Amino acid sequence: MNVLEINHLAVELPVEGALRRVLHDVTLSIGPGEAVGLVGESGAGKSMASRAVIRLLPAGAAVHGDIRYSGDSVLAMDRAALRHFRTHDVAMVFQDPRAHINPVRTIGDFLLEALLERGERRDDARAAVIAVLAAVGVSEPERRLRQFPHELSGGLLQRVMIAAALAVSPTLLLADEPTTALDVTTQSDVMVILDARRRERGLAMLFVTHDLELAAAVCDRIAVLYAGFLVEDAPAGDLHRNLRHPYTAGLLASRPDPVAPRPRLAAIPGRPLSAFEVGAGCAFAPRCAFAVERCHLERPELRVLDAGRVACHRAEELAGQLALSPTPGGSE
């Protein structure tokens, strides 16, 4: 059975008295020990999708569709079940540790919270968090427990947040841009830690990032989100060999290469749309170099293709045409 199953998830949030669409249609599953990279540009809805999984959405949010953890409906959970789910089964790591760790409480208080809340003895909990701090490469773990967040660098604090997430031994980890604020070398360190947990404990992971290459390198599958729609879901290994969606291809081509620069980047024209701005038809149509009339009129359904799924009317036709190494000036 899948650890996580998200079916036709749609989310609306209250904005100035009215509900505004932030997610249109997200269908996604994660098997035991599997890592899925959820990628997309700013505002695509990555954070909202991952927060919806633990029902951590802003007040007044309207959620449609179905979210299941090991077969149980998360949306149907009562208070007690939700609390159990959040303290035993799932854990979340956020992009900005300073915004999510209470500055006036010690690192120890922060780390012990979830374990004490679920009724573990203080001594056991303390031993457990010290062990997990050491495992994520935090030196002098005992001393850290007495320190306050401002006494730690950003990289160290992010490790603390990851330690807090891992301390509850979750089955599912939701990591929302856990390395975006970090230097590349620190990012590499953090990914080593998460990788090891996956191998050793079979941790399943939803890894949210805007970095397609990072997701492809550390995840089994890649799910691409655009303007609130899941537009492609493919094995990570296919990313460079077998592109199916024009947006995914455009994202890859936009990124400069540190070793082999191109005379000119094949930038996607225009800007990413927010979910609420999307009209009829394919959300990507206004920016898509391959759009035809049908694209502007009819919304493409997410459908199975090869080893993945894609939402594009022209996916079969375009197979092999989506430049893997884009030509200069291609789409601008």
Partner 1 sequence: MTDEPVLEVRELRKEYRVRTSRAEAVPAAGSALLGHAVTRRERAGVLVAVDDVSFSVSPGQSLAVVGESGSGKTTVARMVVGLERPTSGTIMVSGRERSWRHVSSRERRRRAREVQIVFQDPYSSLDPRMSVRASLDESLRLHFDWTRERRDERVAELLDQVGLDRRQANSLPKALSGGQRQRVAIARALASEPRVLICDEAVASLDVSIQAQILNLLSDIRDATGVSYLFISHDLAVVRQVSDAVLVMRRGRVIEAGPTASVLSEPSDAYTKQLLAAIPRPGWKPTPSNS
Ligand X SMILES: Nc1ncnc2c1ncn2[C@@H]1O[C@H](COP(=O)(O)OP(=O)(O)OP(=O)(O)O)[C@@H](O)[C@H]1O
Q: Where along the sequence are the contacts to ligand SF4 (CB under 6 A)?
A: 246, 282, 284-285, 288, 290-291, 295, 300, 312-314
Choose, by CB under 6 A, the member of 4, 10, 26, 44 that binds ligand X.
44
Q: Is 209 in the site for Mg ion (CB under 5 A)?
A: no
As a three-state string, the secondary structure of 40-79 is CCCCCCHHHHHHHHCCCCCCCCEEEEEEEECCEECCCCCH
**C-alpha neighbours within 13 Å on the C-beta side of residue 79:** 0
Alpha-carbon distance of 280 to 143, in angstroms, equals 57
Alpha-carbon distance of 109 to 92, in angstroms, equals 17
Alpha-carbon distance of 7 to 221, in angstroms, equals 17
* Contacts of residue 265, Cβ cutoff 8 Å, sequence gap at least 6: 253, 254, 255, 256
Partner from ligand SF4, ligand X, Mg ion, none contacting 148, C-beta within 5 to 8 A by type: none
Partner from ligand SF4, partner 1, ligand X, none contacting 290, C-beta within 5 to 8 A by type: ligand SF4
CB of 302 to partner 1, least distance (A): 21
Which of 103, 124, 107 shows the shortest CA–CA distance to 115? Answer: 124
Choose, by CB under 8 A, the member of 55, 88, 118, 210 that binds partner 1.
210
Q: Is 15 in the site for partner 1 (CB under 8 A)?
A: no
Contact 30, 2 (CB under 8 A): yes
CB of 48 to ligand X, least distance (A): 3
Task: Name the DSSP letter for residue 290.
Answer: T
Q: How many residues interact with partner 1 (rule CB under 8 A)?
A: 50
Restricting to residues 115-144, name those near partner 1 by CB under 8 A: 137
Positions that interact with partner 1 (CB under 8 A): 41-42, 137, 150-154, 156, 183-189, 191-192, 195, 210-214, 216-218, 239-240, 250-251, 253-259, 261-262, 264-269, 271-272, 287, 332
Q: Which residues bind ligand X (CB under 6 A)?
A: 13, 15, 20, 22, 40, 42-48, 58, 210, 274
